[in-house]
Chains A and B, each alone.
Chain A
Amino acid sequence: MFKTVKSKILITAILMLTVLMSAFACYTIISRMKTKQLMVQNYVFSVDKFVQDINQKIIKYEDNSRDLARIGSLFYQTDRSIDLTNKTIVQIFENYPESLGGGIWFEPYVVDKSKKRLCFYAYRDKNKNIILDESFNSEEYNYHNQNWYKQIISKVTPENNIAWSAPYYENQGSYTLMITIGSGIYVNNKLIGISTVDWEINTIIDDISKMKPLEKTFSMYQNGNEIKNSFALLGTKEYDSIIATNDPYLKDIKLIGHSLKEIPWYADNLYGITYIKYHNKKYIPFYKTLRNGMVFVICVPKIEIFRGINNFYLNMLIVLFLISIGIPALLYLSMNLYIIHPIAKLTDIAHKISNGEDTDIKIEKPEEFAQLATTYDKMTRNIKSITQERARINSELSIAKSIQTSSLPNVFPPFPNETAFDIFASMEPAKEVGGDFYDFFFINETKFMFLIADVSGKGVPAALFMMTVKTLINNMSQMNYSPKQLIENINKKICETNKEGFFVTMLAGIADTKTGELNIINCGHNPPLIKRKNETYEFLELNPNMPLGIFEDAEFEIYNTVMNPGDLIYTYTDGVTEAANINNEMYKETRLHDCLNNIKETEAIKIAQKVKKSIQEFTESAPQSDDITMLIFKYIGGANEINGENEVNNMKTFSQFVTQENYKTFYTWLHDACREWNINDNLTNKLDMCAEEIFANVAFYAYPEKNGIIDVTLDKSGNNIVFEFKDSGIAYNPLEKPDPDITLPPEERPLGGLGIFMVKSMADNIYYKRENDKNILTLVFKLDEKSGL
């Protein structure tokens, strides 16, 4: 089923589809991976940018603290000429509107040897008014001993170090979450105090939450939507505490100041690499350390990062899938339409033509097939005319062959009343018209000529030449020549008419039917076999003469012999001895000789049948390459004893209706005749049995419905009794009935069929013919010493 072009194209298309699809699939997968990496990279940039922004803010806060420290330093160096208390601090805070408060704190006794504590602190009240708070100078508070002071002072060395406090709650009543940024006040590299700026952490968180770190991601996927559900965290690793988070799941829990580890999605050092799972959602964390040592983590839902990408690739896959199906399908369909379909059409047409149907060959497109169809049409018409021509030649050849075959005498026995000899001849033509022929005829009242010949070559010319030769011989033989003269004249005539260089090999015999004298002439032909009565067949090797038609003046030697009653001559053409089997072995003379000597029958027709059967068994299925022709002549003799007077006296006739009653009259007539001719009981008995059988047969088969007349003649001529039955009934040849198998066990033997078998066994010769609407059955019985007279 995979042998047709159609299926091959289909397979190719499927292969193409598979290859295209896998290529597209690979491309999609790789490209999707790359795109994902690119998108994550893009986020990395966004987060970095965001962190830079935070750092900028941090710098601002730090600058604020430094500015204060610088003022502290100036205050010291100008020997307290600046009025920090009223104006300066306030002015500075006005420059930093986001700070809640701040101050300058000096070390003990640094500015004034008499004063241990000196600090200036201002803050914004609820109405954003800046108020100077001098209560920190009190002895009770003793800021030098406060933890925040100790922490900051310990962190601001060396100069320019910024100290960030741990986040804390302001305990002046508002309880807001605060963080303090401190700087050291240095004069001549000596630390003389610190400055502090307090920030409300919420300000920072507000800043953070206002930022849209992911605004400028791939515009393709962003669709202008805000990235939702991303969580941010600000914390300090140093104090392991959470500073701020906008995680909605955690908003009710006071987490500030708790350990970072309590945030489930907190990721240390993970930066856009892997994802974490939180509330059934996947997030990609981006971790960053800020310039002041704080840590910032933002967790973005994976789905937000890759929003659109899956849809995009799904769409892309569908498009690619359609393309990879579409291209092979289109290819297949067009192949089908333009190649397979015309081929199928042509095949169909060829099929119809081969079935002998008359059909138009017409294909309009595509161009190539249109041309092919035209050529095809032309070819078909040529083939048709060639075939018709060949059929005509074949029919003429077969007519020629049948003319040739029917020109040979083919009714046997040829002379039913002739008892002096028995002759049978047959030619089985090969496929082609061949050059074999045989013939026999009376030259005069007693001389009988028979001949078998083979014209060189094959085909129509040989057949035509054969007809000429046959006619010529027949005509010449009537001219009363001696055998030698006859054959030499025939040769001369053949030479005269032979312009094409044919030649003829021939074996001819001229027999005297009275005396049995036989002249045999062999003109380059196969030697015949002769069987003397009670002896075996032997080849008759004669001095070979020339074939006929070669030399006009050729002389021919005649062989003379005498045939005794029962003697037999078998003649044949090389088609017999050269009949070949499938292994190209020939039948040969030895096989012919052996075959003939194994034949017990002595009737000419039976001998011919047996030889033909033997040849057939030898050649089996091999085709017949040459005509197989044979002629058998058996001399019976006795004609010499016949004379006119006896002929009338020795003939008895019986003519009656075939009825049960007449049967008795019939056998009485037969017995009377036998008694008159002194025929012994044995033969009489045989004649009686045959007569009864034939009488009954005529009644049953020839006249099944009405009564009819049977004409019987009993003729004693010479050594023969010829018993002839004629009736005008339905054509019926009893000899066609198959012989019963007499070797069967009695239980299996059929009751019928015995009679005609017995007749055939008893008669020496038996013939049937249909002539003038009459069935004529002739039985011949031989008289010997035993049979009578």
Chain B
Amino acid sequence: MEFSIKKSGINSLYVQASGRLDLDSAVEYGTKIKDTIEDSEETIKELVLDFSAITFISSFGLKVILELYKLLKNQEGVLKLKSVSEQLMDSFKMVGFDKFLVFE
């Protein structure tokens, strides 16, 4: 998978990714984002994950999303998921993530 992390404001990040968020890619995806948040001089209060080009998410991907959610919550920030397809939404619902995640 390919992805880019951009600063979209003083304390907000925007992550654009495409392809599968699975066993193969989830760990790298999560680690990169976490490192960026931790290395940032400003405290990140908003993380937007663009899902418009994500075609698949597995339990490994979901695990990373939960990790990121907890990280943001710890520094009083918000995790936002943008343009999640209906098909992927089913996966979120299956594990009850739709109850606390913010979808745009």
A residues bordering B, Cβ < 8 Å? 660, 663-664, 667, 681-682, 685, 688-689, 692-693, 695-696, 742-743, 745-747, 749, 751-752, 754-755, 757-758, 761-762
Contact = CB atoms under 8 A, between A and B. Distances in A.
Contacts of B69: 746
A692 B91 contact: no
Given A754-B59, A754-B95, A762-B94, A746 B100 contact: yes
A235 B24 CA distance: 146
A664 to B, nearest CB: 7
Nearest to B62: A754
B100 A758 contact: no
Contact of B73 (A681, A747, A751): A747
A682 B87 contact: yes
Contact of B58 (A664, A682, A693, A745): A693
Nearest to A682: B87
Nearest to B57: A689
A225 B57 CA distance: 131
A747 B97 CA distance: 12
A757 B59 CA distance: 9
B24 A664 contact: yes
A742 B96 contact: yes
Nearest to B20: A667
Contacts of A667: 20, 22
B100 A693 contact: no
Given A689-B59, A695-B23, A742-B96, A758 B70 contact: no
B60 interface: yes
Contact of B67 (A660, A743, A745, A751): A751
Contacts of A762: 94
A660 B28 CA distance: 14
Contacts of A755: 58-60
Contacts of B6: none
B95 A757 contact: yes
A762 B20 CA distance: 19
Interface in B51-94: 56, 58-60, 62-63, 66-67, 69-70, 73, 87, 90-91, 94
B100 to A, nearest CB: 5
Contacts of B63: 751-752, 754
B59 A758 contact: yes
Contacts of B94: 758, 761-762
A660 B94 CA distance: 26
Interface string B14-48: 00000010111000000000000000000000000
Contact of B87 (A685, A747, A752, A754): A685
A763 to B, nearest CB: 12
25 contacts: A660-B24, A667-B22, A682-B90, A685-B87, A689-B59, A692-B22, A692-B60, A693-B58, A695-B23, A742-B95, A745-B100, A746-B66, A746-B70, A746-B73, A746-B100, A747-B70, A747-B73, A751-B63, A754-B95, A755-B58, A755-B60, A757-B95, A758-B59, A761-B94, A762-B94
A692 B87 CA distance: 17
A692 B67 contact: no
Contacts of A745: 100
Contacts of B97: 746
Nearest to A689: B58
Nearest to B24: A663
B33 to A, nearest CB: 15
Which residue, of A660, A689, A752, A761, has the highest number of chain B Cβ atoms within 10 A? A689
A394 B24 CA distance: 58
Given A689-B91, A746-B73, A758-B59, 15 more contacts: A667-B22, A685-B87, A689-B56, A689-B58, A693-B58, A695-B23, A696-B60, A742-B96, A746-B66, A746-B70, A746-B100, A754-B62, A755-B58, A757-B95, A762-B94
A749 B92 CA distance: 14
A663 B24 CA distance: 8
A743 to B, nearest CB: 7
Given A681-B87, A692-B58, A758 B23 contact: no
B40 to A, nearest CB: 23
Given A682-B87, A757-B95, A693 B66 contact: no
Contacts of B24: 660, 663-664
B59 A692 contact: yes
Nearest first, the 10 closest Cβ-Cβ pairs linking A and B are: A755-B59, A742-B96, A746-B100, A692-B58, A754-B59, A751-B63, A689-B58, A692-B23, A696-B23, A754-B95
Contacts of B91: 685, 689, 758
Contacts of A692: 22-23, 58-60
A752 to B, nearest CB: 7
Contacts of B87: 681-682, 685
A743 B96 CA distance: 7
A412 to B, nearest CB: 26
Which residue, of B22, B59, B69, B73, has the highest number of chain A Cβ atoms within 10 A? B59
Contacts of A685: 56, 87, 90-91
Nearest to A695: B23
B56 A758 contact: no
Contacts of A681: 87
A757 B67 CA distance: 18
B4 to A, nearest CB: 22
Contacts of B66: 746, 749, 751
Contacts of B59: 689, 692-693, 754-755, 758
Nearest to A751: B63
B16 to A, nearest CB: 22
A10 to B, nearest CB: 74
A696 B63 CA distance: 14
Nearest to B59: A755
Contacts of A682: 87, 90
B1 to A, nearest CB: 11
Contacts of A746: 66, 69-70, 73, 97, 100
A666 to B, nearest CB: 10
A661 to B, nearest CB: 9
A689 B60 CA distance: 10
Nearest to A740: B95
A752 B63 CA distance: 7
Contacts of A663: 23-24
Nearest to B96: A742
B74 to A, nearest CB: 9
A663 B73 CA distance: 33
Contacts of B62: 754
A393 B97 CA distance: 58
Contacts of B23: 663, 692, 695-696
B73 to A, nearest CB: 7
Which residue, of A746, A749, A761, has the highest number of chain B Cβ atoms within 10 A? A746
A689 B61 CA distance: 10
A762 B90 CA distance: 11
A503 B93 CA distance: 54
A761 B63 CA distance: 17
Contacts of B73: 746-747
Contacts of B22: 667, 692
Nearest to B79: A746
B54 to A, nearest CB: 12
Nearest to B67: A751
A331 to B, nearest CB: 83
